[in-house]
Structure 1
């Protein structure tokens, strides 16, 4: 099976990384290292206490994002007491996923969500990711809200968007398995794991790993009991039928086919 697709994909991403990283570093240099001081978690509102401020979670949508990257963490967090999850985008309204066949509505624009407590950036297809990496409106918003977040997080190739904003310089991070080499190009330190927590930045590996991170955040924003209960609430008890979900143990033919399928290429 030809690796032409993989070579083309690497070329496009490498070019995009080079074009955006310099701007991101320049924009964040004055703020110092991206890794944050130890995090202080506010006490969230309980189900019976409407006087305390809710923890606002903003999930950034952009054309070409991957549905599960956003919806997985949403399901893990949307029922946590005192937490409100809002889909946001450059403009409020319907945003299409990487397949083009599914749309999810962004309830608010970036301007309407200037200071979320938690930022979550899903990954996406190549076009969606690279477009966001060069979108100055999106990158500027990410840098602004990061100054005030409790947690700044990503799923899958969302970490490359964080990197393009200059927030992963010297920060341990993970991403989608086929995109690991690009973390170095945005200044991050690739670290294996379903999710990696470094200061107030948490990055998740590919797609379904966002559920793991979401459940971790559920506990961090409330307590371990809530996290355990949410894991049961969504019946998250993976038992995959093929055992090929780890790229380090899957064979080369399966990895190549997986990349074609995720890109929508003919097989």
Structure 2
């Protein structure tokens, strides 16, 4: 008889929905999986698009998860200083088999002290934040460090999900899910990372992101100072 696993994905205001829905689709494809979208309340939260997301479980009611996943988005800036969220993540991490993140979700895990002394991936625009919390930056698409598995930006969520299933169950199961999803990416442009994108495109994005990057770094430094 196959084992049933419990997955918990954090949702929050200003989440980047693809950070969450990528791994959600993978986890939900595992036969017998029990998947929860967890937040402080079960009131709908607004993503960073027109899409709203309805949590299925409150912090106070959810079970212990086998896999805890923290997606990213601009809403993670506030979460780095939210003790209710950080305390919940610490409590869940103590009993989880795998503690995972996508994109800037790793910054929240770092702010909770759950990545200290480890390597982790994040969105390319946020790599300066992880060292503030004593975390080494990995530029891997998916970084495995013990039972911490972290993914890069946004679209890496599918890769993260498949990697988790491989580690939790086995490779064949992960490959079957990949095939079911027809996850066979062939992007129209080779512009998916600052290493391959045209310099003028990188410059454009860096200029757009400059205010948000400065704000995020300041919030991270304040959160790290409170931890000391």
Deviating 4+ runs (over 4 angstroms): none
Instruction: Tell me how large the CA RMSD over aligned residues is.
Output: 1.7
Following superposition, the deviation at residue 134 of structure 1 comes to 0.9
8 A contact 1:97–1:103 mirrored in 2: yes
Corresponding residue number in structure 2 for 1:12 = none
C-alpha distance in structure 1 between counterparts of 2:175 and 2:205, whole Å = 32
Distance 1:105 1:257 in 2: 34
1:202 matches 2:152: no
Q: Does the 8 Å CA contact 1:93/1:107 hold for their aligned counterparts? A: no
SS at match of 1:217: helix
**Secondary structure class of the residue paired with 1:106:** coil
Separation in 2 of the partners of 1:114 and 1:236?
30
Give 5+ residue unaligned stretches, structure 1. Answer: 1-44, 47-51
Which 5+ residue runs of structure 2 have no aligned equivalent? 213-228
Structure-2-length-normalised TM-score: 0.87
- What's the CA shift for 1:136? 0.8
Question: What's the counterpart of residue 255 of structure 1?
Answer: 202
TM-score (normalised: structure 1): 0.75
Pair 1:177–1:160, CA change in 2 (3 A): same
Report the equivalent of 2:222: none
The offset of 1:98, in angstroms, is 1.6
Superposed CA offset, 1:84-109 (max 9, x none): 2111111113111123x111110011
Bigger RCO of structures 1 and 2 (CA < 8 A, at least 6 apart): 1
Structure 2: how far apart are the matches of 1:142 and 1:114? 13
What's the secondary structure of 1:250's corresponding residue? coil
Measured against aligned partners, the alpha-carbon deviations of 1:198-234 in whole angstroms (never above 9, x if no partner) come to: 1111110000011001011122222211111111111
Q: Are the structure 2 counterparts of residues 183 and 169 from structure 1 closer, same or farther at C-alpha, using a change threshold of 3 Å?
A: same
Shift of 1:114: 4.5
Deviations 1:86-140 (A, max 9, x none): 11111113111123x1111100111111521110000012xx1111111111000
The answer as to 2:42 corresponding to 1:92 is yes
For this pair of structures, how many residues does the alignment match? 210
2:149–2:164 contact (8 Å) kept in structure 1 = no
Question: Deviation digits for residues 39-65 of structure 1, max 9, x if unmatched?
Answer: xxxxxx63xxxxx5x211000001011
Q: Which of structures 1 and 2 has the bigger CA Rg?
A: 1
Contact 2:19 2:154 survives alignment (8 Å):
yes
**Counterpart contact for 1:77–1:83, Cα < 8 Å:** yes
Counterpart position of 1:73: 23
Change (3 A) 1:106 1:256: farther
